Amino acid sequence: MFNQKRLKYTFLAFSILLAFVLIDIFQLQTREFESTSQIIEQQNLDKFYITAPRGEIFDSDGVKIAETTLEPHLFLNMRKINNQNSSEYRQVIQYNFPELATKEINEIFESKDILQSVINLSSVEYEVRNNLISNFDGFLIIDLPIRKYIKNELFAHTIGYLGVPNKDEFIEFQNALGNNQVGKNGIERYYEEYLSGIPGELIFSGSEIVDSKQPIPGNDLFLSINSLTQLVTKESLQEGINLANKSFESQNEIKRGAAVVLEIETGNIISMVSLPDFDPNKFVSGISDFEYKQLDRDQAFNNFAIQGLYPPGSVFKVVAYWLALSENIFPEGLNNKDSKVDCVGSLSFGFDDGSQQVYNDWKPEGHGKVDLTDAIKQSCNVYFWDIALNIWRNFGNTEGESILQEYSKELGFSEKTNVDLPFEKVGIIPDRDLFEEWKITRPGLVREEGWLGGDLMNLIIGQGAITTTPLQVANAYRTLLTGENLSPTLNKNAEKITNNKINISDEFTSFLLKDLNTVTNKGGTAYVSFSILGNKANDIGGKTGTAQNAGNKNNTSWFVGVDSISNPKYIIATVVDEGGSGSAVAAPVSRRIIQHLLEYEITPVEFGEITE
């Protein structure tokens, strides 16, 4: 009996003790859970990125052409919005900002972001802003940078524009994620890392901001490009395009062209224009699908100065000019630059490979007796065909047959100029190896026989499969005058990159400048276009080019000008796509640009003369 009673008391005491232990364990777990939850919550921090102001962009005179302004934006802290207050916040937004559509407001409240942008407050009165922040803790005002392109369309292709990054750009550019914007083209893209700046941060714990980091602005950029020269170049090119539409019949409206002004001493780009263009500010405020598609149809986003691939026509003849003087390869039977051939308007000879047998010059009656100077002055095709024939007969089917291609590549043809702009095109210098490759990869472009003598005849006058960009042509002429192939630059502080050097004597440079001068003076193909300058044309030079296009397209109009023979400072390359004759359209465009560069009175672009 005693043992049962004692056992009962022992069991009761043990039960009470166990209950105390269990209570202590429960309280300990509860306290630790609350404490652990607090720690986890403190560690569960979220970031909201604030876009950094981009660096500003200035022209050669220090004139600002792209700027960033900070403008206040209203944000809604979505973590402070719940079922109880959602309707109130919706009503506040609808009342204060009636311009917002119901769909836009719905998208705000459906957002899963920490902060959701409501509206730009830059045009909203201060009292309204203050009232929103003072009375509703779910609202927050953040100053965000807005990009503005001060000259609108004028620098569309050189400066570029901004847009929301795609997947590849998030990976390629380290600040793209935080800034949620990236340069899509032009300088904005090429110097994205330099211009972009480091985004700021707001650190959230739950619905509250517990820390912040201010954004660090990007670096300013100073360009070699000149706003006034850019404006004159654009006006001149547009006048040339209008002139081509007025003077030539074309299946389609003539809209496209490009012009480049290159500083000879430095390789700096003073002006680069491509038409048609667009207003990059529309990408800041928001461009409609209709506008975008229309611009895309017109190829307005293409920078034809570096992406337009055209046969160069007779502006390419300076390559053969350099080859002839360097290798002493002249028309068969001649041994120096002063010896003459009799141009009767055509060249007939026998190729044994199936090539064309008769080649007709652009001037049916011929040019008479011509030497190398006359061949450049009058753009005599026969003289240069004779050089090609000499190369073919002596070096055909040997390593030496590509000597013209080698000389052209030394000047940068079929290679990138490595200008500080994205998406530069390369162009083509055709040869036997390329034609053999095309027979397999692009059989529709070449005949089964492959590379023939007639292809070399086409190449030497800038026709056939050859393509190049206006910047390549301008840089090639600059290389011939300096002996140094530099990468052209827009950033005036960029390190100069030498692609290669060529052996150019002062005597050769003198010959070349003198012969280019004959083109713009009496008897030259560009004489009419430059005659308005009177005696002032005596110190100007250049080369016309008229390149044939496939199908029913008009010819491509080319001119490369040198502002001064006695003291050359600038190369001007102009192309009007389907613009017809180079001497009639591109030459007067370049003449107007040269008038500006020399600070002469500027006169309208007027039709020159169809000479080739």
Cβ–Cβ < 8 Å for 471, 309: no
> What pLDDT is recorded for position 27?
59
> What pLDDT is recorded for position 31?
55
The amino acid that residue 534 corresponds to is G
> What pLDDT is recorded for position 39?
44
> What pLDDT is recorded for position 233?
98
> What pLDDT is recorded for position 37?
44
> What pLDDT is recorded for position 594?
98
CA distance 186 to 231: 18
> What pLDDT is recorded for position 294?
92
Q: Among 173, 146, 176, which residue's Cα sits nearest to residue 49?
A: 176
Phi, psi of 344 (to 5 degrees): -105, 10
Domains of the chain: 48-206+214-221 (3.90.1310.10), 227-597 (3.40.710.10)
How many other C-beta atoms lie within 10 A of the C-beta of residue 463? 19
CA distance 237 to 573: 11
> What pLDDT is recorded for position 487?
97
Helix (H/G/I), strand (E/B), else coil: 164 = coil
Residues of the chain with pLDDT under 70: 1-44, 350
Residue 488, sorted as left (phi over 0), alpha (psi -120 to 50) or beta, turns out to be beta
Tokens found for residue 159: 């400066």
Q: Among 462, 454, 430, 415, which residue's Cα sits nearest to residue 582?
A: 462
Q: Among 474, 584, 599, which residue's Cα sits nearest to residue 530?
A: 584
pLDDT (tens digit, 9 = 90+) per residue, 124-150? 999 999 999 999 999 999 999 999 999
> What pLDDT is recorded for position 10?
60
pTM to 2 decimal places: 0.90
Largest CA distance in the chain: 148
Q: Could you give the angle at the alpha carbon of 555 between the alpha carbons of 553 and 557, nearest 5°?
A: 140
> What pLDDT is recorded for position 24?
60
